Amino acid sequence: MTLIGVAEAGSEAVAVDLDSVDGLSADEAGARFVMGRLGVRVVMTHRPALAALVAEAGGLSLVHVFAFDSTGLTKALEDHPARRGVGTVISPGPVLSHLTAADLERLPRPIVAYGLIDSPERAHQLLTIADSVVVGADSAEAWSKGPGFPGEGLPRER
C-alpha cells in the first residue's frame, strides 16, 4: 500500500519518516504535505530544525538519533530541539538498554526504540524503557503466531 493509501485509510497510528520516503522531500514542504494534505500527525526526521517546525505546526515530531556510539548520541542530543511536541527515536533500539540513567534522562520523550528488535522478549524489555517500539512488518507477522504477542499485558501508557 502507498503512503497516500495508508493515510486515506484514516489510521491515527500512521507516522512518516520524512528522510526515507522516495519522492518526498525531507524539508518544510514535505512536512506540510504529510501533515496538511495527508493528515499525518507524527513525523520522524534526523533534522532537528524540521522536527521543531513539525512541533510548531501542532504535530508530534520524533528526532531520529543514530546511537551507534556515545559521540553520536551526545552530538545528536546537543542539536535536539528539546521542547514540547518533539520526542526521540533511538536506533538501533537495543542501545536503550545500555544507556546510563543520566543519558536516559536527557532523552526528550516520547522515546521510540527503532530497529534491530529481534524478538518479542526484546520488545517487551525495551518497553520498560521506551514509550514505544517499532518492528518490521515481517517480524510482527512472525511474532504474532507465537504466545504473548502482540501485546497482551504490554504497557499502554507511560
Say if 153 falls within a structural domain. Answer: no
Say if 65 falls within a structural domain. Answer: yes
Say if 66 falls within a structural domain. Answer: yes
Total domains present in the chain: 1
Q: With H, G, I as helix, E, B as strand and everything else as coil, classify residue 22.
A: coil
Range of the domain at 15: 3-143
Say if 150 falls within a structural domain. Answer: no
Q: What pLDDT is attached to residue 8?
A: 77
18 in Cβ contact with 65 (< 8 Å): no
Say if 47 falls within a structural domain. Answer: yes
Model confidence pLDDT, tens digit, residues 93-139: 999 999 989 989 999 999 999 999 989 999 999 999 999 999 876 77
The CATH number of residue 40's host domain is: 3.20.20.70
| E strand or H helix at 151 | none
Say if 115 falls within a structural domain. Answer: yes
**Residue 5 — very low, low, confident or very high, per pLDDT cuts 50/70/90?**
confident
**Residue 158 — very low, low, confident or very high, per pLDDT cuts 50/70/90?**
very low
Say if 98 falls within a structural domain. Answer: yes
- Strand segments, DSSP code E, in the chain are 15-17, 42-45, 60-66, 86-91, 111-114, 132-134
Model confidence pLDDT, tens digit, residues 11-47: 667 899 999 999 999 999 999 999 999 999 999 999 9
